[in-house]
Amino acid sequence: MPHLVALYTANLDAVVDMPALCRELADAMLTVRDEEGRQVFPTGGTRVLAYPAPHFAVGDGGAAGRAAGAGKTGLATGDPGEYGFMYLHLRMGRGRSDATQKRAGDAVLAAARARLDPVMATRHIGLTVQVDVGAEVFDAKHSTLHPLFQKT
């Protein structure tokens, strides 16, 4: 059930390779290990989904960024307008330690920053990573993916 959902302002599509970011986030999730060195997220169950928000409002719409100018904000160039924002929500099943949950969040954050930091050098973008552990009321699965990755 490890699902990572990216909700982001659609203006990021022009400056971020979202398919590449999704792959990098999934790959980062697959590297996470628990205290015994076991892979935390099953390969066949790891999913990253990205959804752009075509309609959005962030902060003051970019006014403060434009008013500050490139020199004052530390950005290489002035922000061209409306801010960007990305929310990464990782949902995990129960049973993992707090340390493992933090490792998962750190891995997702590191992968996101590797892709976004160069863009953030020229644009004002907010990034949030949140990890939630579910107390599922109902959890059913049906998949032909898992057999591809089961060891015989």
pLDDT (tens digit per residue) in 84-126: 999 999 998 888 999 999 999 999 999 999 999 999 988 889 9
Between 81 and 105, the more confident residue is: 105
Above 60 in pLDDT, residue 39? yes
Domain range holding 54? 3-149
Write down the pTM of the prediction.
Answer: 0.84
Number of domains in the chain: 1
CATH number at residue 97: 3.30.429.10
pLDDT for position 149: 74
Question: Is 24:123 a contact under the CB 8 Å cutoff?
Answer: no
d(CA 32, CA 39): 6
Q: In terms of C-beta distances under 8 Å and separation of at least 24 residues, what long-range contacts does 115-122 make, across chains too?
A: 115/16, 115/17, 115/20, 115/21, 115/24, 116/16, 116/21, 116/86, 119/12, 119/15, 119/16, 121/75, 121/76, 122/75, 122/76, 122/77, 122/79
Strand, coil or helix: 21? helix
